[in-house]
Amino acid sequence: MKKHLVFATVLSCHLASLSVVAVVQASGAPQGLRAEAALPSRHPHVVQDALRFCEPKPGFWVDLGAGRGQVAIPLIEATDNPVVMIDPDAPAMAKGLALAREKGLADHLFAIVGVAEELPLPDNSVDLLVSRGSIFFWDDAPKGLREVYRVLRPGGKAYIGGGAGSGYPRWAAEKLVEGRRARLEGDDAPRWRRFVELRRPEQMRQWAEAAELPDFKVMGQGAISADDPDVGQGVWVLFEKPEG
Ligand SMILES: C[S@@+](CC[C@H](N)C(=O)[O-])C[C@H]1O[C@@H](n2cnc3c(N)ncnc32)[C@H](O)[C@@H]1O
């Protein structure tokens, strides 16, 4: 309970200075992402994969690059464990907090304004860190991954990447991939190519190696394949800080 109070205080300090908010992604996002929002939500499926791969201990859980808490809220609903969101976009997190309040989860969701590259958390403190759809926007992905490793508690795990989740309906995953393939040839092709490039497993491996993570596993075949049996559409890196 004490931990909850600390983070509530942190949030109120940051919300007092909402005027200096870094809203990161609007400018670089390719056209057509909005069409994807009409498909079923991918977040609950990602939550199920994260829980299956990480088998987290109850404790201090973080959703990094949380946005409006699209992962954090279903994660709380699935487990009843509190979650702290971290994101530079304070207004987005404020929307997540409002939604959590409406759902009766106000005492389970907290927020800190911050970036992956400089996590506002102590060493060895986090039991589970999940991050969906965010690493592709970080200014320095290896630095962010090093920071994640620093804050993990021994035995803590991180699941970072982007995608729809292995339980996402096959028809919807196919529609998502088809739409992206078509857009690679469309009006906004250069931005879509960049979008796909950043979400390749080779890119994720390169970031993890540059971060000098002692051990990690890259999963998924990227933005335009739903063929990976473990994670479905997308790409992820999974790692743990060893005990002792
Ligand atoms: C596409 S949204 C993903 C939101 C949510 N996690 C989801 O799965 O829908 C990307 C989020 O990453 C955040 N972000 C951008 N740069 C970041 C950084 N350096 N560290 C942490 N989060 C960052 C953005 O503010 C944004 O909320």
Taking the domains of the chain in order of start, what are their residue ranges?
2-18+41-240
Q: What is the CA radius of gyration of the chain?
A: 17
Confidence (pTM): 0.89
Secondary structure E strands in 36-105: 61-64, 83-87
pLDDT at 7 over 90: no
Give the pLDDT score at 5.
Answer: 32
* For ligand 1, mutation pick of 21, 27, 129, 137 (most atoms within 8 Å of CB): 137
Atom 17, ligand 1: residue with shortest CA distance: 138
In the structure, what pLDDT confidence band is assigned to residue 134 with cuts at 50, 70 and 90? very high
Q: How far is CA 127 from the centre of its chain?
A: 15
Q: Which residues contact 2 (CB under 8 A, 6 or more apart)?
A: none
CATH number of 2-18+41-240: 3.40.50.150
Average confidence (pLDDT) over 2-30: 38
pLDDT at 229 over 60: yes
CB of 24 within 6 A of ligand 1: the answer is: yes
pLDDT at 116 over 90: yes
Residue 79: exposure state from Cβ atoms within 10 A (0-12, 13-18, ≥19) = middle
> Which tens digit of pLDDT belongs to each residue from 35-94?
788 899 999 999 999 999 999 999 999 999 999 999 999 999 999 999 999 999 999 999
In the structure, what pLDDT confidence band is assigned to residue 236 with cuts at 50, 70 and 90? very high
Distance of CA 133 from the midpoint of ligand 1 (Å): 6
The helix or strand, by DSSP H or E, that contains position 100, with its residue range, turns out to be: helix 90-102
Tell me how many degrees the CA angle 37-40-129 measures, rounded to the nearest 5. Answer: 85
Ligand 1 nearest-atom number relative to CA 88? 25
Give dist(CA 172, CA 35) in Å, integer: 12
CB of 66 within 6 A of ligand 1: the answer is: yes
Average confidence (pLDDT) over 231-235: 95
Share of residues in the chain with pLDDT > 70 (%) = 88
Give the pLDDT score at 28.
Answer: 61
Decide if 47 contacts 163 (C-beta within 8 A).
no
Distance of CA 171 from the midpoint of ligand 1 (Å): 27
Give dist(CA 89, CA 244) in Å, integer: 36
Give dist(CA 197, CA 140) in Å, integer: 16
Ligand 1 nearest-atom number relative to CA 23? 25
CB of 141 within 6 A of ligand 1: the answer is: no
CB of 92 within 6 A of ligand 1: the answer is: yes
Give the pLDDT score at 4.
Answer: 40
Ligand 1 nearest-atom number relative to CA 65? 22
Does residue 126 or residue 35 have the better pLDDT?
Answer: 126
The helix or strand, by DSSP H or E, that contains position 119, with its residue range, turns out to be: none
